[in-house]
Amino acid sequence: MSKSTTRKLQPRPTQLTNVVAEKQPLLHPQDSVQKAGEKMRDLGAEALPVSEGRRLVGVVDQTNPDRHAAGFGHDPNATTVGDIMNSDVAYCLESDDCAAALRKMNERSLDRLPVVDRQMRIVGVVTQEDLTERPASDKIC
């Protein structure tokens, strides 16, 4: 009988500014829940940040928010992201290191995390894949 081992993800030692993906999709409070659900399914995302301008204001962190709203009798085209977003957002500062971001993701079971500057403006999004060990040829930092 062989032991089952879980591979522990190891962070790469670097600041988030070196790995953050700047061109990540965001939602806006006035977007419909229908649009949010379609975008999340297209991306395979479990959560997406919500911004007003560039400022982080929330997150949609439920799978298929459009179907969820419809299940409660709400029109997904009339219900807005602002109506359903969670304002308790996990995020990291761009000056944080990868290990801190990975710890926060693991603690909250997140697949991606918004990265903000000191004024809470979104500078990008980082994923678990961005932060974990890869073959040397694939390393970003």
Per-residue pLDDT tens for 115-131? 999 999 999 888 888 88
Residue 109 has a pLDDT of 86
| pLDDT-derived band at 1, boundaries 50, 70, 90 | very low
Neighbours of 24 (CB within 10 A): 19
Q: Count how many Cα atoms sit within 13 Å of the Cα of residue 132 in the half-sphere of its side chain.
A: 11
**CB distance 9 to 102 below 8 Å:** yes
Burial grade of 46 (CB within 10 A; 0-12, 13-18, 19 or more)? middle
pLDDT digits (tens, 9 = 90+) for 30-74: 999 999 999 999 988 888 899 998 899 999 988 788 888 888 888
Q: Cα 26 to chain center, whole Å?
A: 9
Model pTM greater than 0.85? no
pLDDT at 38: 93
Q: What is the mean pLDDT of the chain?
A: 82
**Residue owning tokens 């500057």:** 117
- Res. 110: pLDDT tops 80: yes
Sorted by where each starts, the structural domains of the chain and their CATH numbers stand as 16-133 (3.10.580.10)
Q: What is the mean pLDDT of the segment spanning 9-21?
A: 66
**12-16, 44-48, 130-134, range with greatest mean pLDDT:** 44-48
For residue 139, what pLDDT is reported?
Answer: 47
Local confidence band at 104 (pLDDT 50, 70, 90 cut-offs): very high
Give SS3 for 101: helix
Q: Is the dihedral of CA 129, 134, 138, 141 positive or negative?
A: positive
DSSP bridge partners of 32 = 80
Using the 8-state DSSP alphabet, how is residue 64 labeled?
S
DSSP-derived secondary structure letter, 32: B
Task: Please give the sequence-ordered ranges of beta strands (E in DSSP) within the chain, or none if there are none.
Answer: 48-52, 55-60, 92-93, 112-116, 122-127
Is residue 4 over pLDDT 50?
no
What's the CA gap between 88 and 29, in Å, rounded?
Answer: 15
